[in-house]
Amino acid sequence: MLLRDPVHGLISFEADEESIIPRLLEAPEVQRLRRIRQLGLTSLAFPGAEHTRFSHALGAAHVMQLFIARLRKIHDELPFWQRLTSERARDALAAALLHDVGHGPLSHLFEDAVAHATGSCRLHEEWTEHVLLDESTTVHRILAADDPELPQRVAGLVRGEHELPYLARAVSGTFDVDRCDYLLRDAHATGVGYGDFDLPWLLRSLRFGESSDGAPPGLAIDGPKGMNAIESFILARHFMFQQVYFHKATRAAEWMIRAILRRAMHLIQDGTRLPGVPRAMLAFAAGDTPSLGDYLALDDQALLETLSQWRDAADPILADLCNRLRARVLFKTEELYGVAQTPAARESAYATVRAISEEAGLAPDYYTGLDIATDTPYEEDRSLTVIFGSGPPRRPTEVSFLLDRLRDETLSRVRVVFPGELRQRVRDALRQAR
Amino acid sequence: MLLRDPVHGLISFEADEESIIPRLLEAPEVQRLRRIRQLGLTSLAFPGAEHTRFSHALGAAHVMQLFIARLRKIHDELPFWQRLTSERARDALAAALLHDVGHGPLSHLFEDAVAHATGSCRLHEEWTEHVLLDESTTVHRILAADDPELPQRVAGLVRGEHELPYLARAVSGTFDVDRCDYLLRDAHATGVGYGDFDLPWLLRSLRFGESSDGAPPGLAIDGPKGMNAIESFILARHFMFQQVYFHKATRAAEWMIRAILRRAMHLIQDGTRLPGVPRAMLAFAAGDTPSLGDYLALDDQALLETLSQWRDAADPILADLCNRLRARVLFKTEELYGVAQTPAARESAYATVRAISEEAGLAPDYYTGLDIATDTPYEEDRSLTVIFGSGPPRRPTEVSFLLDRLRDETLSRVRVVFPGELRQRVRDALRQAR
Amino acid sequence: MLLRDPVHGLISFEADEESIIPRLLEAPEVQRLRRIRQLGLTSLAFPGAEHTRFSHALGAAHVMQLFIARLRKIHDELPFWQRLTSERARDALAAALLHDVGHGPLSHLFEDAVAHATGSCRLHEEWTEHVLLDESTTVHRILAADDPELPQRVAGLVRGEHELPYLARAVSGTFDVDRCDYLLRDAHATGVGYGDFDLPWLLRSLRFGESSDGAPPGLAIDGPKGMNAIESFILARHFMFQQVYFHKATRAAEWMIRAILRRAMHLIQDGTRLPGVPRAMLAFAAGDTPSLGDYLALDDQALLETLSQWRDAADPILADLCNRLRARVLFKTEELYGVAQTPAARESAYATVRAISEEAGLAPDYYTGLDIATDTPYEEDRSLTVIFGSGPPRRPTEVSFLLDRLRDETLSRVRVVFPGELRQRVRDALRQAR
Amino acid sequence: MLLRDPVHGLISFEADEESIIPRLLEAPEVQRLRRIRQLGLTSLAFPGAEHTRFSHALGAAHVMQLFIARLRKIHDELPFWQRLTSERARDALAAALLHDVGHGPLSHLFEDAVAHATGSCRLHEEWTEHVLLDESTTVHRILAADDPELPQRVAGLVRGEHELPYLARAVSGTFDVDRCDYLLRDAHATGVGYGDFDLPWLLRSLRFGESSDGAPPGLAIDGPKGMNAIESFILARHFMFQQVYFHKATRAAEWMIRAILRRAMHLIQDGTRLPGVPRAMLAFAAGDTPSLGDYLALDDQALLETLSQWRDAADPILADLCNRLRARVLFKTEELYGVAQTPAARESAYATVRAISEEAGLAPDYYTGLDIATDTPYEEDRSLTVIFGSGPPRRPTEVSFLLDRLRDETLSRVRVVFPGELRQRVRDALRQAR
């Protein structure tokens, strides 16, 4: 199997141990990822951001190939039972491809919204596990045909668990194949260069960490070579959050989707009939967990078509919100800086916006929001060590000036969200309040 | 207005004459292009090819900005009434943005299929003109608000007609802004580098051609500088056809869509009720032209959701084809090379495939095809001249060794199309026939 | 004038106000920059780093064009006498091209070494001013032919002085055209991607700062747009220092050159005759300042050929060092981390290395070194402000989490330098000392 | 060994079989390549083109690594004695690194000029073989230390001879590692994008050709995959010739160097003493072959410094030409197009230019030239076949429309060369002659 990928160039899965990839690609659960965009509604702010979770899954599997190649250059220093056999490589490749196979539509929005509306919802991680383990799925059958234990092992890897910690961390860790691919891919698709980092150098600087009592080691970074590669990875991720993931138009659109889904859930729960409601949503509204099949029938295409139909709903709020979203008449935001960010000040600003909305006849629950986006650029990762020459393993923050300064700092961006027609009133009111 | 574009980097429309662009972007007819992929089903072969006609329209408008900037560096040599005024620049920008605004879903497939099934169909060019001129559209209102003649002038430019031939050719010609953007964009999204060419150098090598009797001139290429830029543009386009647009998986998927739409049309015409049929399709099936609103309601998302519903149709052919497409169980192809390409040999090969399909119980009209893809890499363009220094204008083929060799050559790729389960039988039969 | 540049693509200087550039390029003082590499001996560590100060000078002039274009998009808000006239643009372009015209050979090495050996030396900044103002140079004549005050104004700009502060800062400031070009160019040539930053976005986010009492304003950054662009610029520079400018092999080679020049100076001062000594070096050794012509006759090519001849010098130290450098038998380094970095520990480590060298019969003054490389990634720049919307100007560190953490931090890398044959002994001794 | 390369990114030579590379890099004959630019004087036309034969040699060795990796993915289909053992891989890597180790200064100019002036000169290929086989060289000692037969085997490979034809062709053939690297590297350094081609895809499309009588096979291209990759490689090379290698300023500078060397040779042969003449040149002038050591002492740096000294030569022609070259006052050219290109017309044009030069008191033998640059973009290569599926091997021209049109076509660019001060007179005279 030979593919063109806009991020990694030529991708091929041709070795024996890689044959699991082309087989899994034929599963409808994997093909479904073609209908889920990697960045949800971000293309409303960055028109190029139409890339799908399918291409990301392929990219993650490709990064895993590179990762495996690097580990094999160094694994001879381990006792043979701790080395990367073909079986383990196959498992890791499958896990890389499938790490998000249970993802819901519109990035994380759907599960957030449903959770909000119903008080309970499986996370996409649980749905992923469900897809892997449920005997009815094609993915499960393909995995189990290779080895009956394979579905469980892949599920473990996706959770970051494996008898070889160095492998587990490659699927789920600070520098896992997921992040490595999505940063590059999101940067490529949005045109925001900040997501670029030096993947070949990062991989090349991997070595094994210390192992105690003969247990297999975790991963470590070769200090002189890899320190800057790590730092630039962390910063690339930070910049992508600031520029793309927290972009005001994206956040506003996401807020609108959440309001729409919330409204629809309430209407359904109140017994209102809405056109084109996917079966999974009916189940959620009823407090049930939908069947796996119904859940997987949800994708961006289906959900957006449903929203398109709701433009004609009898409920004026639902119809209005769906109309605005479709025509990209997005809500506006005002960011609260400095002192305006304290909890009390936030709430006060939000109350002001609600009052203005109320006054304008727009239900504040659906037309206004307080949007808080937070990210911790570098959370101290105790499983990651840096080694200089034959020296002892150290924590990244001990040796990196930059990571030390960033450690465990949480950045938040707080915004009030409201319809564009209220913009002047909101601005004036917020200015007065200062 | 300031945007990130993955192809051109930072794009901004901030000058007075460019204000038409942000205003037009708010029109629902333009926003609709977000729901139509630039390359239809090509993402089934190249997973990155999810880019939309919306991003292409923006890119074409940006290339027009570059084009305008170049023309203004040289237009002082023209009499003032032939220069690029702000009004003319605005017209050209609008035309670049709107050149495909009437495009149907799934690239050219929909109009091909409908034309095939019904014997008549407006081309997307006509729909584009309709969107521009129909007083009911937001696009029309925005244009007419600037100048009542503007819709007509933009329509003219899109057809390649304007009082300034050099401007008309920039919207619709051998090196128009459409091609300049789509080659770069398709290359970026698919990861097929062949589409890259040297846009800045091509623009820089533009000069005015000769004008007779004081009429405004057309465009010309400055020979020593621009000859290689032209050649590489022509070759970039040629390679993109060979690698991407004529890729066997893309062609097979497109063939399947055509079969599905044809089948659905016949069923509708026979009075069968199908679920979720868009109103425009009902009109087409009835031999009518749909209303503009119904036509514009068609987009990739809507059409693919309809196809998704047809998986449960009572008609086994329709349901089967839709199921295959959704699960990406694409038809296979065998390419006919050399002597097998003569008309008689083609027909004979196709007859063979039909017979095999018939034998297998698969209706050959819907399960087999003879797919002929043709392209002429360089059609002699009489409006384009090349000028060396103060010498006379010459045709590109007179001065380019490469273009001379390529002139008016038509390349065709002929394939038979059939379901994968017939592959071995088809191959054996074709081999025997040789 | 139209040029291909590997960093910026097509570069052209075709407008009237730009005609100064092609004229200046013909001056032998500018052509001389072709014989001085931008990064001195760095190509011994990064084989691609052969790019010259000539290509950098062109690049800086090109960035100035972009800078001017941006300023003109916004300068209408200033009173007309503070705007960027063609004359001022010409001055700024000339200053960008000529900012390093007096640079000595081998990056900063030559002036360091001479200063070290003789206790006095004009800095390259002074030589640049000399080239601009001395009536004997072609550069001076070209500038003065345009305007007798031009040499002085260009010299002022190079020092960062101009009646328009916003223009002065573009030639010499935190984000000046020098840094903008060299980061991108060094990244391109070395293959170290970290030097990349978002130049178009940085330029686009420029606005005018506040002006008091009607004085012309300085530059400011538009906060929401530009903050990340600034941060990534600062970090790009930081990473280039860590990866390239402070690379151990580069530093070792530079240390060797300094030792060679020091040795040669002492020999000359002692009356030893050395072959091929450039006249400027004789003058320096005699404590004189060489003539401008003799100074400019020094370039990488001339100096390296001199060093090549010294391989046969009678002095064994000079001959040996020159032989090693020519054959790239570079000295080795050991970096001192953590506590080993305190002044006392450094000196002690260095004393250890000197003793080992002495013991091995290698004169420690020429065969060992204590190399301290320091950089301050972000020095608070009081002339730079960030403005959010209509808010007040703020300092970058007030609004950037990252810059606040980095402010005025100085990073140093301390290494002992010694010949490779001593490596094991040095390592053992340093390990014992810990 | 780990390196940053601006073209290929991270390059490492770390496997056992690759250890020959770091060892060879320490040889002074290899380090000498740092002082020879890949493109001679081309940087006078493309300021970025300062890259050296050293970086190209590393790049060629890296492409060989990729090549070896590809061959190993497919060599299992060969009998074991025809496979790529570690020894053979080592040989091929050494040959790739050393393929140009005997190159003279200033690209091919030096050997052309010397041959012209003296009627005989070893080609650089012979000097390369000399470096490999002469027991006095470090390169020879390193190779022979591995295996006494190794110098001979490497020399054979550089000539394109090896018991495995598929390996010989990788070192010296239509798509050899030399061309693969130099196209990409020259494109990167000059900023002329045309040299880019799809190296990964080209490598991936390699397969083994047919072998007759059990002899080891040559290389073949997998048709459906590789045809466009080949075509674009051939065209990339063609465009680089047209844009870079045949650029008028480069050709003029090269012509000047040849005139300078010719003049110097004659002066030396006449017994004139010139300053700083390298020993090798004295030997050439005396009709002798210089010693290998003297030959290798020649490099760009040494030769250009010699030319710099000749600016003060007593001979006015030599001094004048050297002064012009140093100050980049290059000769001008007029290209002869169309009918002006016939042999008689060429000679007539050249006679005209000589007469003008004579009249102006400039010795036509040194101040004028008839410069004919020729290239054959695609010479039919009988050792290269293309295979479609299980079909028979075919020649590229049988299956490629483009290559068929290009086959064995020779393009020539004919120019007269003369000093700039004669430009107007030359133009007028040539125009009259038409």
The mean per-residue pLDDT over the stretch A132-152 comes to 98
Domain CATH code at residue C366: 3.30.70.1370
Q: Do A328 and B48 touch (CB under 8 A)?
A: no
Residue range B157-179: mean pLDDT, rounded: 92
- Residues B265, B262: Cα–Cα separation, whole Å: 5
Closest-CA residue of C relative to B9 is C200
Mean pLDDT across the stretch A264-276?
Answer: 93
User: pLDDT at position A214, please?
Assistant: 81
| Residues constituting chain D | 434
* Helix extents (H) in C16-105: 20-25, 28-31, 53-74, 86-98
Q: Do D241 and D367 fall within a single domain?
A: no
The CATH number for B92's domain is: 1.10.3210.10
**Section D1-18 average pLDDT:** 95
What pLDDT was estimated at residue B405?
Answer: 86
Identify the DSSP state of C276. T
D44 and D77 fall within a common domain = yes
Among A113, A123, A143, smallest CA distance to A259 is for A113
Query: Could you say which of C208, C230, C247 is where a domain stops?
Result: C247
Q: Tell me whether residues C4 and D46 touch, CB distance under 8 A.
A: yes
Tokens representing B359 are 């034998």
**Between chains, do A14 and D73 touch, taking CB under 8 Å as contact?**
yes
Question: Please, which pLDDT band fits residue A241 given cuts at 50, 70 and 90?
Answer: very high
Query: Rounded to the nearest 5°, which phi and psi values hold at B46?
Result: -120, 100
Determine, yes or no, domain membership for A136.
yes
Nearest-by-CA chain C residue for D330: C26
How many whole angstroms separate alpha carbon C316 and alpha carbon A192?
Answer: 56
**Which of A221-235, B148-162, C148-162, D308-322 comes out lowest in average pLDDT?**
A221-235
| Residue C118 pLDDT level (bands cut at 50, 70, 90) | low
For residue D431, the model assigns a pLDDT of 86
Q: What confidence tens digit (pLDDT) does each residue in C415-427 have?
A: 999 999 999 999 9
pLDDT in tens, D38-86: 999 999 999 999 999 999 999 999 999 999 999 999 999 899 999 999 9
Task: Examine the domain organization and report whether B8 and B141 are in the same domain.
Answer: yes
pLDDT per residue as tens digits for the range C23-73: 999 999 999 999 999 999 999 999 999 999 999 999 999 999 999 999 999
CB distance C228–A242 less than 8 Å?
yes
Query: How many domains, chain A?
Result: 2
Q: What is the pLDDT of residues A159-200, one digit of tens each?
A: 999 999 999 989 988 889 999 999 999 999 999 988 788 899
Higher-confidence position of A157 and D223: A157
Cα dihedral C270/C274/C278/C279 (nearest 10): 50
Q: Which one of A194, A226, A247 terminates a domain?
A: A247
Distance CA B54, CA B25 (A): 9
Identify from B204, B230, B239 which residue to disrupt to test chain D contact, counting D C-beta atoms within 10 A and taking the largest count: B239
How many secondary structure helices (H) and strands (E) does chain D include?
22, 9
Q: Which helix (H) or strand (E) holds D372?
A: strand D369-375
Q: Is residue B116 part of a domain?
A: no
Answer whether residue C90 is part of any domain.
Answer: yes
Question: Are the CB atoms for B156 and B164 separated by under 8 Å?
Answer: no
Could you tell me the sign of the dihedral formed by the alpha carbons of C141, C143, C149, C151, in that order? negative
Render the burial of D102-141: b for 16+ CB within 10 Å, e for the rest. Answer: bbbbbbebbbbbbeebbeebbebbebbbbbbbeeebbbbe
Structural domain includes residue D286: no
- The model's confidence at residue D174, banded by pLDDT at 50, 70 and 90, is confident
Whether residues C70 and C187 fall in one domain: yes
Task: Report which residue type is found at A172.
Answer: S
Looking at the fold, whether D415 and D405 belong to one and the same domain comes out as: no
- Asked if A19 and A168 sit in the same domain, the reply is yes
Report the mean per-residue pLDDT for chain A: 92
The percent of residues in chain B predicted with pLDDT above 70, rounded, is 98
Q: Which residues of A touch C (CB under 8 A)?
A: 193-194, 196, 198, 224, 227-228, 231-232, 235, 239, 242-243, 335, 337, 388, 401-402, 405-406, 409, 411
Predicted model pTM: 0.95
ipTM of the complex: 0.94
Same domain, D241 and D364: no
* Cβ pairs bridging B and C (under 8 Å): 16
**Same domain as B346, residue B223:** no
The shortest C-alpha distance from D173 to chain B (Å) reads: 23
B103-145: pLDDT as tens digits: 999 877 777 777 766 665 567 889 999 999 999 999 999 999 9
Same domain, A55 and A204: yes
Q: Chains contacting A with at least 3 CB pairs below 8 Å?
A: B, C, D
- Do residues D356 and D429 touch, judged by C-beta distance below 8 A? yes
| A378 plus A236 within the same structural domain | no
pLDDT class of D118 with cuts at 50, 70, 90:
low
Contacts of A228 in chain C (CB under 8 A): 194, 239, 242-243
pLDDT band at D116 (very low <50, low <70, confident <90, very high): low
**Angle (CA) B379 B381 B386, round 5°:** 125
Considering the domain boundaries, does residue D415 fall inside one? Answer: yes
pLDDT of residue A176: 93
Pairing mode of beta strands C9-12, D332-336: unpaired
Which site among B13, B24, B51 would you substitute to test the A interface, given the most A Cβ atoms closer than 10 Å to its Cβ? Answer: B51
Q: Do the chains contact at A228 and C239, CB–CB below 8 Å?
A: yes
- pLDDT (0 to 100) of residue A381: 81
**Closest-CA residue in chain A for B5?**
A191
Q: How far apart are CA A351 and CA A354, in angstroms?
A: 5
Assess if residue D319 is contained within a domain: no
The answer to whether residues B238 and B338 belong to one domain is no
Q: Has residue C241 been placed in a domain?
A: yes
Reported as a single tens digit per residue, the pLDDT across D386-404 is 998 878 889 999 888 889 9
Least confident of A314-318, B193-197, C102-106: B193-197
**Chain B residues inside the 8 Å CB shell of D401:** 409, 411
Domain, as residue range, for A7: 2-247
Region at A380 (left for phi over 0; alpha for psi -120 to 50; beta for the rest): beta
Residues of A in contact with B186 (CB under 8 A): none
Asked if the model's pLDDT at residue A292 lies above 90, the reply is yes
User: pLDDT category, B37, cuts 50, 70, 90?
Assistant: very high
Q: Could you say which of A28, A31, A48 has the minimum Cβ distance to residue B51?
A: A48
Mean pLDDT of D217-242: 90
What confidence tens digit (pLDDT) does each residue in A97-106 have?
Answer: 999 999 999 8
Q: Which residues of D touch B198 (CB under 8 A)?
A: 193-194
pLDDT score of D341 more than 80: no
Cβ within 8 Å, pair D47-C7: no
Q: Could you read off the pLDDT of C311-340 as tens digits, one per residue?
A: 999 999 999 999 999 999 999 999 998 777
Q: Is residue A267 part of a domain?
A: no
Look up tokens 């514009």; give the residue. B296
Q: Which two tokens stand for residue C315?
A: 């002095």
pLDDT of residue B35: 97
Give every CB contact of residue C368 below 8 A, 6+ residues apart in sequence: C350, C353, C354, C357, C362, C416, C417, C418
- Chains within contact range of chain B (3+ C-beta pairs < 8 Å): A, C, D
Based on the fold, state whether residues B343 and B243 are members of the same structural domain.
Answer: no
A170 near A92, Cβ under 8 Å?
A: yes
pLDDT at B384: 85
Q: Is the pLDDT of residue C199 over 70?
A: yes
Lowest pLDDT segment from A121-125, D52-56, D348-352: A121-125
Please say if the pLDDT value at position A358 is more than 70.
yes
pLDDT at C274 over 60: yes
Rounded CA-CA distance A21/A96 in Å is 10
